[in-house]
Structure 1
């Protein structure tokens, strides 16, 4: 209420209240359970509210009497001519006008009856109304301070005394209300903390159930993994699988033979790659023959077959003819023609080697059917997926265990906060066990 304080100081009615030092005794410690906290809070709240209301009634009676005294003073002031007959008429007019303002304001504001105090809201309304009354009376006295001090000096001390006491009483009420508000804030915090602990415990309970479910899933995966591993071991220990591996080895061994044949063919076709490349730009061959010629230049092994022999000879002879006619420019035409003829002569040999290789490899690949590799691949794929699923479940389990652990560590800290707040709102020190 800074505005009232300032006005009273202007009028000369503000004074410091003596500070009283009280001896504080150490609060006794009581052991309680977490479930007791709500009842304790309710008891403290009820007691504090009743105490606040009763103490406010005492101050309400004091302030009502102070206002009654102000009205009495106003009535005396109203009958007092303040000895203004001998002063200047203009000054007399100002004095009488100021006197009237003071009297009218006091009568209007102080002549009031307060409602009975039954609830905290009643106390708040009383505090608000009393403060407004004090402010309005203080304002008018502040404006008319010279009139009162010079022409109504005998009333000044009485007014000062009453308003000073009224301000002190209102300060006491505000202090009680402030303390009550702080208590309610602490109670709200305690209730929030209780809800937080309840939520943490609920989280631990539900998370514990989830952990059990996760572990059941992991156990199921382990059991299924063990069964699939046994199935895989059974497949790999069969005679069919042994034969399958032997055939796979034979196929792998064929790679060296293929590399040898490929090298021999590539070496020969490299000799005529330049004229073939140049011929590809001017050829009038059919589309499939052009495509065949491109593969002869890049990868002759894959197209050397009995089916392609006629087209290959056509391509070679066409290239030879263009070299002879100089349609294709080469450094040594005679040598190039000889190399084309040599390649043509070797075609049967190359085709035979490629055919024999493909036949041998084809038979071996057909023999792989002795073992159902599809079953093995499916089992190994299932095993890999189970491993990924288990890792995912273990990661979730680890995260959940950490969250549960952190929640368990957090509860004692919240309990300490509750103990601190209970101590702030109670004369007793509580230890939650």
Structure 2
């Protein structure tokens, strides 16, 4: 079973649970609405009621208190109740009902004397409705608590599966980094051998100083190229999950283009046009916007993609300029000058250091990927176990 299929299965069960929650809470909402209508009617009757006060000095106090009670009852009873069509709306309904219940409790406590002495006729009925609402609020809490308890295994399993998916993507990227680093080491070792051979023949060149200058310039531009590639990898890294989500169900041609963006994005600049790659980024951005692709940080990823679309043409211009300049430098050095002794000595030193650094990095990546594979196996076992507990049969995840 694919991870996406497992997530889809869980999503189906969760949807059913939410539908059951909606059904359970809808009847409670109807009862709450009925009680609030009764309270509103009692408030209207109370407003029209002429309260008899034996001592005139209390008449204004009682009247003010009555108006306050009526206003509070009307305000709370007229509040719109959210329809629990989703878990979020169900929580809003719970919070709204708790707020109404607490407010009625406060009104009853604040005007206790007026209730028990001057509007005793309404006190019993209102108290009964208040108790009904309180009971309904407890029922809502109980329903939601049962729902949360039921959802806990689904949430846990979904979390495991998402972590497993992220881990697979991370391992894939590490494998590509290892492959890239190994190629880098081979290229550096080849370069070192070339430099060593040239060192034997270049000792007293007449164009020594010019050769040094050109060599340093080449080194700087080559370094800029490596840094530009690293920068591109860093720019595309935050949207790797969006790439994974988008990759399901696309054509082979689109998949190949997406692979270039995800693994070696600098290769797009070798193409005559980068428009096909920009179109893919635009489509992913649209899919995030209309929620065909769902990510926790979708808005942030959308903004990041928008920024990429804007800056990639400039990256291409710089890439072409840099490569043209490098080509010119190489031709000039090879055509007119020989590499100087100092330049070669420095390059040999730096290349040797780069090889050492890359081998250290390669070792770290290999160690890191081994740890991730162990974690991956553990997560896969946990995911398969939680799926078995939910659905009552054994599943094997193809990951």
* Shorter-chain TM band: 0.3 to 0.5
What TM-score, normalized to structure 1?
0.43
- Bigger CA radius of gyration: 1
What TM-score, normalized to structure 2?
0.46
